[in-house]
Homo-oligomer: A and B are copies of this chain.
Amino acid sequence: MKVLFHVNESERWPRVLLNTTNFIKDVGSGKAEIEIVANGEGVSGYVEQANPDLMTKMGELAEDGVKFAACRNALNMHDISEQSLPSFVKVVPAGITEIVNKQAAGFAYIKP
């Protein structure tokens, strides 16, 4: 099973992380490839000081194999430096390209 979650509003992060957690509980740890792609204002969720609880939860999911990506265009637009991101976040040149490529590779798309 392969699934990509798309986040472009930071207020959606709690919902996305809950969806991801419940999905893993249902199918079993390690049974699915999961990637969460943030673009637009959604990349604000990766600012640790603003969201310590979210960041803790993201870190736990990352340890469980969930991949996190951030759109470079969005980081630039929101004045977030790549160096400030947690180490588990992969920066991609354009979030939309990442989403298109993943769907072409068989990932289901979910917009929570």
Partner of A112, one of B8, B18, B97: B8
Task: Report yes or no: A25 in contact with B99, Cβ–Cβ below 8 A.
Answer: no
**Of A15, A97, A104, most B-chain CB atoms within 10 Å:** A97
The B-contacting residues of A in range 1-30, CB under 8 angstroms, are 1-3, 6, 8, 15, 18-20, 22-23, 25-27
Copies of the protein in its oligomer: 3
Rounded to whole angstroms, the CA-CA distance of A66 and B99 in the bound complex is 18
Within 8 Å CB of A19, what residues of B?
39-40, 95-96
When distances are taken between beta carbons in the complex, the residues of chain B under 8 Å from A109 are: 103, 108-110
Q: Are the CB atoms of B73 and A22 closer together than 8 Å?
A: yes
22 residue pairs of the A-B complex, CB under 8 angstroms, read A1-B97, A3-B96, A6-B110, A6-B111, A8-B15, A8-B112, A15-B40, A19-B95, A19-B96, A22-B96, A23-B96, A23-B100, A26-B94, A32-B100, A40-B112, A96-B110, A99-B108, A103-B108, A104-B106, A108-B109, A109-B110, A111-B111
